[in-house]
Amino acid sequence: RQWSGIGVRSILFVVVCALLMGLVLMISTDPAHTWPSTSTLWIRRPGATNPAHKKGEMWKSATGKSFNGPPPIIAPSLLAADLANLASEAKRVMDAGADVLHIDVMDGHFVPNLSWGAPVIKCLRSHSNAFFDTHLMVSNPAEFVGPMADAGVDMFT
């Protein structure tokens, strides 16, 4: 049966997607839900601490509203950096108040863009003690975890 050119399957699909999104939002805003999520793989570098793990703290937003739990973290992506000065750019954002450096790794296959690999991250690690949150946008992430961990990555998402 059709209503205004839209099939029943299409309507059911939209309703199911909306219900699933509501469930995801409910879980992600539930104070009892603990971070990190199941899509996060932790590799603990000696001495690395994640600034997101500050349980039980009170913090205030810029508008003055008080919140319980971990405050939001600032994690600028290094893709926005001047690549000719990556180490100084990383230092600049950390000095400006960033909590974490977000590193987007792209293989040119899973996504059309190509970014950096383990050798670049290893060089950057020698210039920074920042927490490296690395987002793998690659076709075979399991192949990247070992070399990236050895290069100094702290967390994979």
Q: How confident is the model at residue 86 (pLDDT cuts 50, 70, 90)?
A: very high
CATH class of the domain at 73-156: alpha beta
Across the range 148-153, mean pLDDT stands at 93
| Residue 77 DSSP one-character state | B
Residue 111, pLDDT above cutoff 80: yes
pLDDT at 18: 54
Q: How confident is the model at residue 17 (pLDDT cuts 50, 70, 90)?
A: low
Phi-psi region of 93 (alpha: psi -120 to 50; beta: other; left: phi over 0): alpha
**Which strand (E) or helix (H) includes residue 7?**
strand 6-7
pLDDT at 119: 95
Q: How far apart are CA 72 and CA 68, in angstroms?
A: 11
Q: How far apart are CA 106 and CA 108, in angstroms?
A: 6
pLDDT at 135: 92
Residue 56, pLDDT above cutoff 60: no
Residue 82, pLDDT above cutoff 70: yes
Residues 6+ apart with CB under 8 A from 44: 154
Residue 9, pLDDT above cutoff 80: no
Across the range 30-52, mean pLDDT stands at 46
Across the range 19-37, mean pLDDT stands at 44
Contact in structure between 157 and 125 (CB atoms under 8 Å):
no
pLDDT at 26: 42
Contact in structure between 157 and 135 (CB atoms under 8 Å):
yes
Q: How confident is the model at residue 30 (pLDDT cuts 50, 70, 90)?
A: very low
Query: Among the listed ranges 40-44, 65-69, 73-77, which one has the minimum average pLDDT value?
Result: 40-44
Domains of the chain, by residue range, sit at 73-156
